[in-house]
Structure 1
Amino acid sequence: MTRMLRWLLLVVATIAVTVPLDFVGVPSAALFAGLAVGIALALASLAPERMPHPAGVIAQGVLGVYIGTMVHRDAVDALGSHWLIVLVITVGTLLLSVLAGGLLGLHRDVSPLTGSLALVAGGASGLVAIARELGGDDRVVSVVQYLRVALVTATIPLVVTLVFHADRSHPASVSSETDSAPWYLSLAMLAGIVAVGAVGGRLARLPGAGLLGPLALTVALQLTGLSFGLTVPVLLVQAAYMVIGWQAGIAFTRESLRAIGRILPLALTLIVVLGAATAGLGVVLANVTGMTQLEGYLATSPGGVYAVLATAVETGSNVTFIIAAQVLRVLLMLFAAPLMARGMARLGRRRGGHDPALDVPVAAAARR
């Protein structure tokens, strides 16, 4: 099969899978579809050989800007005097993630770096996008991260109903944004932010600069009111998700799939334990701030941001506070994870200098 036909098959099949997944509300449906289709075609020897590097960098930048636009000044203000306890709880979540990732890294098929990235409780799509650049196995990271997101998203309605007996008769009101920039201004700003952020991030030696540079720049513009209602077109976000999914998916081999199969029982156990531990942090947050136990749980849920938002609205919870806490968690995880990865990479070299899931040097995995 020619190179062009392979790409056409990949694109058409991914779109065909994305549409029904998006219809039923699967988080980041295009990324999940790109990953699944990429794996299937790779195992059938029908996938393109590799993802062009510029496409990956652009996808990271678009995703960085998209995540950055979630930050709003009113959400930050909503934390008020509780900002310190929210920060402490968020750091606690990060430490629990690192501990869980370290335990996963003890498995013979996972390096400490890959294990830590795979179980960081926040920013799943961003971490998948930069895992390879940081020296981890993005295939393991993508599978474990989206297993976490799927489990958290699926269990939120059950926990809210069976544990908290939430009242859905008085939903909260959510103010809609009416000052979005015209599409042509948003596209121009998007291109400028991606270019300046990526270059600036590299000059500043920021790990994962293609994602974190544009993300940091967008957050700064949002908080200073200079974003002028910047929005990222849905089609571009979907395309970025697909590219990130393809990047991990088409690199799969039968051996790597078997290795991930051996990892999943331990990963699943750690995800459940991590979810229970963060629920405990939610109880602490509720007791300190005077919020309800339900609001504490939603504010500290380790993933499923859109499911959390929908549930908060349905149950009449403090939506602004919950989203502010969730956005703070995602930002901290994304910026802390690359720094943490450096330490994990050193630990991995002490263990033998290779990524067991691939049975190739970690440095080589990062260059692929």
Structure 2
Amino acid sequence: MTGERSPRASLALVVGLTVVLGVAMSLVHLPSAVLFASLIAGMAHALTSPTVIAVPKSLYRMAQGVIGVVIGAVVTLPALERISHELLPIGVVLVATLLLSILAGRLLALRSDVSVVTGVFSLIAGGASGVVAVARDLGADERVVTVVQYLRVLVVLLAMPLVTAVVFHPSHGHGRLASAGAGWLRDLAFVAVSLAVGLLLARLVRFPTASLLGPLAVAVVLALGGWLGDARVPTPIQWLAFGLIGVQVGLRFTRASLASIARMLPTVLALTVGMVAATAAVGAMLAWWTPVDGLTAYLATTPGGLFAVLSTASDAGSDVTYVLAVQLCRLLVILALTPLLARWLSARHG
């Protein structure tokens, strides 16, 4: 470990590394580039200097809230209507995916260095950024949860184009997933109102994931109401939120925790590949049970990478609304159930 840095030098190191690595990772199209970059930057400081720096709690709660607003902004009436017409098959998919996640997490927790809560939330399918943002509040080791969750997302994103091309042979270029918002002023108003009201609700409710779910709920109401048009969270604000969460987690890494995570990576990789295969089987069941085509069912059930999944669905000409309905329903249910699941697991396994 090198000598002690001043707080200003430490901050400069973390911010500089985040920017440089974020740009480099974005150029090679890595998922969640800013979060990964800030995570590495926080680790680089924590592992090389005893100087203690931390993200203020208020900023961290706001970062959690921004992630909730990002998720809430993609909720649409067509997706909700589709969910209402397909409740039984979507419900079966949700239950099957949740059970597969718990099983995989329990298998990971067979290791003596992983608690059951950490194991389950490390491998729970859906809402990686949301789960990472609230992992510590739920009693899980957010260092392990972050590494494992985004390894899962990376495996899913690497497997998805290969499976789509080799198994389903779709024609490409049918369309693109719109990402434009309603203009900067409306987008900023959307974020400000969602955060202000949502975080106020979070203070009143005092639910473990309320800092994420409060702004998410307000964002859903605003998105469905359409008062601000097709509002979205501006990309720089998303980057800032992911950066704050990544740095906060990275600063908590130690050499011992890194060694522990490195030792479990072969197990994690095997469990992740098994989960991808198992959810593909759930997709095949969905295609057999319902009128949707095989590619749509596969994309609807693949465990992670919501925006990449929607972009693939749009480009391949599959049913984007159905994919969004299933993915979004699973994401919202999992985020809502995480506090209850954490309490249940903690009560059963101490």
Quote the residue 1:353 is aligned against. Answer: none
Query: Where does structure 2 lack aligned partners over 5 or more consecutive residues?
Result: none
Mean CA deviation greater in 135-144 or 17-26: 17-26
One-letter code aligned to 1:3: P
Q: CA deviation at 1:162?
A: 2.3
Q: Matched residues in 2 for 1:194 and 1:283: separation?
A: 39
Q: Matched residues in 2 for 1:175 and 1:149: separation?
A: 20
Q: Matched residues in 2 for 1:177 and 1:11: separation?
A: 27
The answer (yes or no) to whether the contact 1:156–1:307 under 8 Å persists in 2 is no
Q: Matched residues in 2 for 1:323 and 1:47: separation?
A: 44
User: CA, structure 1 residues 176+162, in 2 after alignment: closer, same or farther (shift >3 Å)?
Assistant: closer
Quote the residue 2:85 is aligned against. Answer: 81
Alignment of 1:158 onto 2:158: no
One-letter code aligned to 2:170: D
Give identity over the alignment, percent.
44
1:211-235 C-alpha deviation (Å, 9 max, x unpaired): 1111122123323444543321110
User: CA, structure 1 residues 154+232, in 2 after alignment: closer, same or farther (shift >3 Å)?
Assistant: same
The answer (yes or no) to whether the contact 2:15–2:41 under 8 Å persists in 1 is no
The answer (yes or no) to whether the contact 1:7–1:47 under 8 Å persists in 2 is no
The answer (yes or no) to whether the contact 1:6–1:46 under 8 Å persists in 2 is no
Q: Matched residues in 2 for 1:279 and 1:338: separation?
A: 27
The answer (yes or no) to whether the contact 2:122–2:144 under 8 Å persists in 1 is yes
Q: CA deviation at 1:316?
A: 1.5
Q: Matched residues in 1 for 2:186 and 2:175: separation?
A: 29
User: CA, structure 1 residues 187+315, in 2 after alignment: closer, same or farther (shift >3 Å)?
Assistant: closer
Mean CA deviation greater in 245-254 or 306-315: 306-315
Mean CA deviation greater in 30-39 or 143-152: 30-39
Coordinate RMSD, CA, aligned:
1.9
Q: Matched residues in 1 for 2:117 and 2:143: separation?
A: 13
Q: TM-score, normalised by structure 2?
A: 0.93
Quote the residue 1:298 is aligned against. Answer: 299
1:145-202 C-alpha deviation (Å, 9 max, x unpaired): 01100001011111122233x1225x33357477x44423432332232132123124
Q: CA deviation at 1:85?
A: 0.8
- Alignment length (residue pairs): 346
User: CA, structure 1 residues 229+163, in 2 after alignment: closer, same or farther (shift >3 Å)?
Assistant: closer
Quote the residue 2:171 is aligned against. Answer: 168
Quote the residue 1:210 is aligned against. Answer: 211
Q: Matched residues in 2 for 1:265 and 1:175: separation?
A: 35
Mean CA deviation greater in 59-68 or 216-225: 216-225
Alignment of 1:246 onto 2:250: no
One-letter code aligned to 2:266: P
Q: Matched residues in 1 for 2:295 and 2:189: separation?
A: 41
Q: Matched residues in 1 for 2:132 and 2:268: separation?
A: 16
Q: Matched residues in 2 for 1:35 and 1:174: separation?
A: 31
Alignment of 1:50 onto 2:51: no
Which one of 2, 17, 21 corresponds to residue 6 of structure 2?
2
Matches for 1:216-227 after TM superposition, within 5 Å: 216-227=217-228
Q: Matched residues in 1 for 2:176 and 2:79: separation?
A: 12
One-letter code aligned to 1:145: Q
The answer (yes or no) to whether the contact 1:218–1:227 under 8 Å persists in 2 is no
Quote the residue 1:358 is aligned against. Answer: none
Quote the residue 1:135 is aligned against. Answer: 139
Q: Matched residues in 2 for 1:147 and 1:276: separation?
A: 15
Query: Where does structure 1 lack aligned partners over 5 or more consecutive residues?
Result: 350-368
